[in-house]
Amino acid sequence: MKIDEILKKKRTLSFEVFPPKKGSLGIEKIFKTIDELKALNPDYISVTYGAGGSNRNSNVEIASYIKNQAKIEALAHLTGGPSSYSDIDEIVKKLHSEGIENILALRGDKPIDFNDDYCKTFKHATDLMEYLKDEDFTLAGACYPEGHNECESLYEDLAHMKEKEQAGAKFFVTQVFYDNEYYYRLVSEARKAGIKSPIIPGIMPLVSHKSIPSIKNMCGASIPLDFRNMLEVYKDDPELLEEFGINYAVYQIEDLIAKGAPGIHLYIMNRASIAKKIYERLENVFSKLFWYISYCIFLFGI
């Protein structure tokens, strides 16, 4: 089923997984993670596409497992930056053959060790979307509550979002953020700019002190002072820090759902245990509120 059709009926709960770094090594572990996530009743699971186009075969294999073995909708990431037309054609053929109906179309960031010209064919995510628009996929786009690091302002970023929507994006998934006000600002300004597609907030529980620099550098996410101070307090106690990070994610999610977010997308770093802990603390919120919204749509057409 196409994810945009699901979004018309209910709020969604979804997770992201990523392929193992070395080909098929560890892929069974990813399958086990997916099986564990299935117990949490996600509406879809996304699977990333390796930097520079690496692990593309694993991407398709994992997406197929999600769709055909776990019986969950799959959202396959597809990165245009390093790819040629023939590269994309090959992957699209494989995705079609496995019954995958949803693609998150990205330009992708150039890996540090990538020496060749990165964007040979698809300079922007919109170029990839335009190329895919007749392929009968539901296309999703990425967006950035704190702005993309290559954009000079939020409004330049919004212009790119609008272009993605015009190129075929049916919904957006945000980059990580730790201050919900950035998400609310993005949604408000996007609506003013005429962007109508659902904007799903992406939440990554911060459960390891050593991950802080990479989150700030790679994701561009700022960390609120009070949150950062508490992370420092717990930095020498990994168990307490993980507990605090999970509780903070729960706080974010409760606030987002209460204020009308169309779904929650969890970046769990392939750790089903983290997803389970969050789900257990929010199970009533997820089941009751998501059911209520679906019922209202059915009953009143809202």
118 Rama class: left (phi>0) / alpha (psi -120 to 50) / beta: alpha
Closest among 253, 265, 237 to 175, alpha carbons compared: 265
Q: Which of 16, 61, 73, 242 is catalytic?
A: 16
189 is catalytic: no
Residue 143, judged by CB atoms within 10 A of its CB (0-12, 13-18, 19+), counts as: buried
The residue type at 74: A
DSSP 122-188: -SSHHHHHHHHTTS--EEEEEE-TT--TT-SSHHHHHHHHHHHHHHTEEEEEEEE-S-HHHHHHHHH
Residue 236: is it exposed, middle or buried by C-beta count within 10 angstroms (0-12/13-18/19+)? exposed
Calculate helix-pair angle for 154-167, 180-192, nearest 10 degrees: 60
The span from the CA of 99 to the CA of 73, in Å, is: 10
Cite the active site residues: 16
